[in-house]
């Protein structure tokens, strides 16, 4: 079983993503903002991060940069309601594994992408 951290300040989105990943057999921990996510990541033990782009305390791009600088970087999937060209470019430069739009989020595709990244 893989351990996944889902970080999003919107409890409905966070809960929906977490429930889909749990239904696929993953152990999911939730974080309500970037600061909480960073603290949980520092504690270790995660195989993948799904994060919102815009969150209080630390946004998803700063969180992604922090993951990339860690001794054990993990795959990061980013989700956003809106993406600017600059944000997409920065996410790709920081090696985000995948970018998803919140509008019409295809949870089946997200779960498949998580499985692919984790080799499941």
Residue 120 has pLDDT above 70, yes or no: no
In this predicted structure, what is the pLDDT of residue 46? 96
Q: Which residue has the higher pLDDT, 73 or 120?
A: 73
What are the CA-CA distances from residue 114 to residues 6, 39, 57, 85 (Å)?
12, 22, 26, 24
pTM listed for this prediction: 0.94
Model confidence pLDDT, tens digit, residues 2-57: 999 999 999 999 999 999 999 999 999 999 999 999 999 999 899 999 999 999 99
Per-domain boundaries in the chain? 3-115
**Per-residue pLDDT at 67:** 92
CATH superfamily of 3-115: Response regulator (3.40.50.2300)
Q: Cβ distance 15 to 59 under 8 Å?
A: no
Condensed to tens digits (0 to 9), the pLDDT of residues 54-102 reads 999 999 999 999 999 988 889 999 999 888 889 889 999 989 999 999 9
Q: Which residue, 96, 69, 111, is CA-closest to 87?
A: 96
Q: For residue 20, give the 3-state DSSP assignment.
A: helix
């Amino acid at each position: 079983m893989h351990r996944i951290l889902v970080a999003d300040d919107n409890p409905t989105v966070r809960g929906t993503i977490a429930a889909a990943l749990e239904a696929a057999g993953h152990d999911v921990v939730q974080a309500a903002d970037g600061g909480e996510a960073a603290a949980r990541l520092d504690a270790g033990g995660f195989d993948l991060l799904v994060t919102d782009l815009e969150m209080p305390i630390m946004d998803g791009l700063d969180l992604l940069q922090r993951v990339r600088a860690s001794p054990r970087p993990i795959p990061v999937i980013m989700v956003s309601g809106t993406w600017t060209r600059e944000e997409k470019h920065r996410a790709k430069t920081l090696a985000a594994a995948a970018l998803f739009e919140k509008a019409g989020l295809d949870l089946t595709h997200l779960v498949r992408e998580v499985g692919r990244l984790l080799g499941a």
